[in-house]
Structure 1
Amino acid sequence: MTATADNGLKIVVVGGFGVGKTTLVRSVSEIRPLNTEETMTQAGQGIDETGGLEGLGGKTSTTVAFDFGRITLDAHNILYLFGAPGQERFWFLWDRLFSGTLGAVVLVDTRRLEDSWYAIDRLEHHGTPFIVARNDFGGSAHTLEQLRDALDLDPGVPLVDCDARSRESSKNVLIRLVEHLQSLYAAQRDALQETAQ
């Protein structure tokens, strides 16, 4: 953090294998992101599910721990972004990554929705506020409401479109998450004030 920064705010980006988590962190971070990308080898065949990833231009590497990026919000607040690994064999890391987080973005690929269910389940289990962002892999035949139904999302969970390659689009996803967090905390504050009266 800079000498004047007081608050480090943590956001986690989660989702299935190959949905664009590393791409989103890279596109929006003000620093060159730290990443733990490793080359995919034949040793991962049969372990990492690569079905449905054909449109990713020959995915040759994958995150094996986490991605890390940073955005300075103002002189006193810095946002830290953590991109979680998507493969099932690394899910044990997620609970640690969720510790101390302000909120999360669940990035989804409509071609492989079932890869999103674990992320949503873990966030709900931890009571971590989140939004869902549908990453653009060439358009979807499904409306956002159809996607909401397929994921069985609570009506209060925001669902947005994004293109993880675009800095502006990724920034808008983070802004939407912050707006969601603000509304949740305002509702909690109002409920506490009502109870105190």
Structure 2
Amino acid sequence: MDYKISDTVRGPSAEDTLPESVTTAVKIVIVGGFGVGKTTMVRAVSEIRPLTTEETMTRASEDIDHVTGVEDKTETTVAMDFGRISLNERLVLYLFGTPGQERFWFLWNGLFDGALGAVVLVDTRRLEVSFDVIGKLEDRGMPFVVAVNAFPDAPRHELDELREALDLPDWVPMVDCDARNRLSSRDVLLELTRHLQALALSERETG
């Protein structure tokens, strides 16, 4: 579907300053197909008022965008979402949510610059939209974790079954989550940081 451009961009206020105790900032990218919950996760977990670039969808390009399973969606991200979360007094994560529609994927290259890792959000109602997303991360050599978003009407599967369906290696973390819930979304980000730390330790030991 197409979108209508609005006149305003909602973003962080001047009061959203970074605490003085912070010594390390890490860039994380949240990716996934159209309508899997990326904007929802950024909004749920961000400690600042998130920057969003959502625009109202129209029916002008319904033959271009794949909306099967998310026909009721009325807005879409056309550039990025941005938020921030402090994991402790010294470490903060900057969160960048990517557009899900394939025609906006050319923006991904810039959003991935400087990122240490990614969260792949998966919707079990439309598992097929995740294959290209995961493939792009693997091609880039970008570490990632997979988070299965719990939509109310989505079919339930064991994580081992989903791992096999997505052809994920055992060392890629995979977790259930509810992108609407702050604590659940925070747990996903913690899982990614643990994964990044484990990879860094492994590289030091083998290097």
Same fold (TM > 0.5): yes
1:141 to 148, 156, 161: 156
**Aligned counterpart for 2:134 among listed residues 104, 120, 143:** 120
Pairs within 5 Å for 1:1-197: 1-3=18-20, 5-54=22-71, 58-138=72-152, 139-192=154-207
Aligned to 2:12: none
Cα RMSD between the aligned structures? 1.4
Question: Tell me, which stretches of 5 or more residues in structure 2 are unaligned?
Answer: 1-17
Distance in 2 separating the partners of 1:117 and 1:135: 16
Worse-superposed segment, 74-83 or 23-32: 74-83
Matched letter for residue 91 of structure 1: W
Q: Measure, in 2, the Cα distance between the counterparts of 1:118 and 1:35.
A: 24
Question: Unaligned stretches of 5+ in structure 1?
Answer: 193-197
Report the TM-score when normalising by structure 2. 0.87
Query: Which secondary structure state, in structure 1, belongs to the residue aligned with residue 60 of structure 2?
Result: helix
Alpha-carbon distance in structure 2 between the residues aligned to 1:154 and 1:74: 30
Q: How many residues align?
A: 189
Which string of whole-angstrom CA distances, capped at 9 and with x for unpartnered residues, describes residues 11-33 of structure 1? 00000000000000000000110
Percentage of identical aligned residues = 60
Q: Distance in 1 between matches of 2:184 and 2:39?
A: 14
**Structure 1 residue 3: deviation in Å?**
4.7
Task: Flag the structure with higher helix content.
Answer: 1
1:11-66 CA deviation, whole Å, 9 max, x = no partner?
Answer: 00000000000000000000110000000012221111110114xxx211000000
